[in-house]
Amino acid sequence: MNNAAKILAFCIAGACGIAHAQQEAPRPAAATLTQPKGASQPVDARGFIHRWLVLEPVPVPGRLTEAAVQEALKSAALPGDALPSGGETVTINGNSLTWHAHDTLQYNFNLYHFAWSLSKPTSNVLFWAVTTVDSPGEMQNVRLAIGSNAASRWWLNGEPVIALNDDRQSVIDDGVSRRVTLRKGRNVIRAAIINGGGATDFCARFLDENDQPLKGLTVLLP
Amino acid sequence: MGMKFGVAALVALSGPVHALDGEILVHDPSTVITHNGRYYTYGTGNGLPVLTSEDGWTWKRAGSLMSAVPGGKAGPEVLARGGNNTWAPDIIHVGDKFFLYYSAPGTQPKSAIGLLIGRTLDPQSPDYKWEDGGPVVWSDGIEDSNAIDPGVLLGPDGRLWLTYGSYFGYIRLVELDPRTGKRRYPDRAPVNIAINSEASILIYRDGWYYLLVTHGSCCQGANSTYNIRMGRSRKVTGPYLDNMGVDMIEGGGKLFAASRGRHVGPGHFGLLDLGAGVQKFSLHYEADLDRGGVSVLDLRPLLWRDGWPIAGDNLVPGTYILESARTGTVLELAVQGSPVGGFRPRRGGPPGSGIVGSGPPGGAPPAGPPPEPREGPPIADQDPAQVAANWPATSGVRLAPAMLQAQQKWVIAPVANSGGYPGAPFFRITIAGTERSLTAVAGGEVSATAFTGLPEQLWRIDQLTDGSYRIVAKAVPGTSDVLALSAVGSSMPTLARFDAASDRQRWLLEAP
């Protein structure tokens, strides 16, 4: 009987922070994440995007209702709209946080692995993730399709396209955007994933008009 | 037998469906198990609380299981591998032993699953005690696993399997030794079969292994999003795919049970196979709105359709037509019915018959256009009380074509303080607007007599795996046999032993 609620209560009581403070030795790198190799990377055979810039987790209350997610987005807002780069640091609520560039070895990006390997909290946190997708030409009537554990918000080229609330598992194509148009060239995907407790991850790909994955895309870091 | 009979029509009927009766507050119940005629389940909490029942309907708390363990708590190895919590057990009977597996988490995801071994579940037995079998599996707090929520399956080939896990990574599978309850191959790595879910358990049917898990969050009352999902595989080791082909290890899962009616957040599936085509499943709801939003135990029918289990619902009290699957005719009081809306002359007939609207005996058809059809005003349903006032004092029942007439409408209502069976209380079955109630009589026949509450007027109504119903008398005068309502020929209801291979004792309960 594990559950996000118990973990939430556990962490609000301060035990999460204590547990992390006691882990002083450097932890091994996340087994599912690697450093990006090469300037670009195609999406995989099922259309999933593997290359992401992810910011170290921002502590938030971890509640997952729509109102709570909106509040978390405000409190954990990025300092500006400029695209980040790997190794760059930003300050949010007095915390200095670093952007990390990773390729995931799986179809999904395991944020729990990411944060744990950095000795950062995994519960009651918000993760920012950014990547760019290069399209060989304009593509109309496609959809961004994501799964996230737990609540998330997604923007494509600055426009909000997906909003998922509440505690949920990362299920392939759980959240799907309305029909959108991919520009020729670079398209920016930005996401915020909020976790209450337990595992946390996300996956993302584009679907065509027949709900089949788009495979001709290339992923580049901003 | 495949799902043949729809049950959607029942939704329109009124009346609440309650969870079980008695002391049913529990969280994370184990599979309900029977032993020496009693039902048992064990839940999360100090010492693993015990719930027991004589009939599967009325339950009471009966202390804690750990009170029968030497030292009164988990063994030292379990505590060392995990922690001192006692959560979410599962239990299975193998040979002459009961194996009970329980979660012993520390600071999650560091946790262990401990084993307790007993010979009887009856606390009154001199043999009643539980022995510490040590930790079976565990998670070290770093790996992608949280070793809680055990679920056990004894497969069709006699092999014993344990699944476990929660929201820190994988749901894992290991094989157990049926002789000891411990791991059969402790040096082999567990097999990952699903991810980020909990309360996993396997069941088997017709060449398929089904993995049922609970998604969502618990422990927040009516704000809990618990729901039960599933996938299936030909091999016990997976991959377990849902109805869309998505692997459960990538988050897939076909919905099995979600919040309905007055119950929010179903979780922790357990199979209770009663045999003869009757399967039930145990679960808890995070919030029973009829009990102030607390977590309670329930038992519900398990149906099957197109190779997937379906979560059935316990019978909703209401007015029904009882149609025989054997004959297609319906149970009625043996009185002359009258058509809904009254008698009217037959419209048309064979040429030359003289019936209004019939043509001449041969020759050319009538000249001119056909008469314009006209719609009449609505015809009211028959008022059972009004119609019944003219019925003779017969107590006979029979089967006849369904005509929506008053003598064919039966009110099925629970009878308080009369006991029950797994998932439901005993019911009375009474012609609407009357007290004439279906009654088992000596010789194994049925009649409709004034309701007195005697056992022969109380009926156990179990939904079968194909969606039809078995209707069994609580008692039949003159015999100790368990007899079910049965159809003989096209028009004769009687009582007979239930034959799962036949439609004779299968009934469809339809909205009139």
Higher pLDDT, A10 or A219: A219
B166 contact residues in A (CB cutoff 8 A): 1-2, 198
What 3-state DSSP class applies to B289?
helix
- What DSSP state is assigned to residue B379? -
Q: Kindly state whether B172 is in contact with chain A, defined as any CB-CB distance less than 8 angstroms.
A: no
> What confidence tier does B79 reach under pLDDT thresholds 50, 70, 90?
very high
Give percent of chain B above pLDDT 90. Answer: 82
Tokens of A30: 């996340």
Q: Pick from A15, A166, A199: which is nearest to B196 by CB?
A: A199
Phi-psi group of B427: left, alpha or beta (phi > 0 → left; psi -120 to 50 → alpha; rest → beta): beta
Q: Kindly state whether B145 is in contact with chain A, defined as any CB-CB distance less than 8 angstroms.
A: no
pLDDT, tens only, B221-268: 998 999 999 999 999 999 999 999 999 999 999 999 999 999 999 999
- Give the C-alpha separation, A209 to B7, whole Å: 36
Q: Do A3 and B225 touch (CB under 8 A)?
A: no
Does the pLDDT at position B4 exceed 50? no
Q: Kindly state whether A20 is in contact with chain B, defined as any CB-CB distance less than 8 angstroms.
A: no
pLDDT value at position A18? 36
pLDDT, tens only, B393-419: 888 999 999 999 999 999 999 999 999
pLDDT, tens only, A9-63: 333 333 333 344 444 688 999 999 999 999 999 999 999 999 999 999 999 998 8
> What confidence tier does B489 reach under pLDDT thresholds 50, 70, 90?
confident
Q: CA nearest B281: which of B443, B96, B151, B386?
A: B151
Write out the H or E segment, with its range, that includes residue B42.
Answer: strand B38-42
Please report the ipTM that was assigned to this predicted complex.
0.80
pLDDT, tens only, B315-326: 999 999 999 999
pLDDT value at position B10? 35
pLDDT value at position B364? 66
Q: Checking DSSP bridges between strand A139-149 and strand B191-195, what pairing results, if any?
A: unpaired
> What confidence tier does B217 reach under pLDDT thresholds 50, 70, 90?
confident
- What DSSP state is assigned to residue B442? T
Q: What is the pTM of this model?
A: 0.89
pLDDT, tens only, B103-148: 999 988 999 999 999 999 999 999 999 999 999 999 999 999 999 9
Q: Kindly state whether B250 is in contact with chain A, defined as any CB-CB distance less than 8 angstroms.
A: yes
pLDDT value at position B384? 84
Instruction: Give me chain B's average pLDDT, please.
Output: 92
Q: Do B167 and A4 touch (CB under 8 A)?
A: yes
pLDDT, tens only, A58-107: 999 988 889 999 999 999 999 988 999 999 999 999 999 999 999 999 99
pLDDT value at position A16? 37
Write out the H or E segment, with its range, that includes residue A146.
Answer: strand A139-149
Q: If you measure CA to CA, which chain A residue comes closest to B214?
A: A1
pLDDT value at position B346? 64
Catalytic residue check, B332: no
Mean pLDDT across B352-380: 73
Does the pLDDT at position B6 exceed 50? no
Write out the H or E segment, with its range, that includes residue A73.
Answer: helix A66-75
Contact indicator for B87, B100 with CB cutoff of 8 Å: no
Contact indicator for B407, B385 with CB cutoff of 8 Å: no
Does the pLDDT at position B3 exceed 70? no
Q: How far is CA B317 from CA B113, B314, B320, in A?
A: 42, 9, 9
pLDDT value at position A14? 32
A16 contact residues in B (CB cutoff 8 A): none
Does the pLDDT at position B178 exceed 70? yes
Q: Is the peptide bond before A150 cis (omega within 30 degrees of 0)?
A: yes
- Give the C-alpha separation, A154 to A178, whole Å: 12
> What confidence tier does A2 reach under pLDDT thresholds 50, 70, 90?
very low
Does the pLDDT at position B386 exceed 90? no
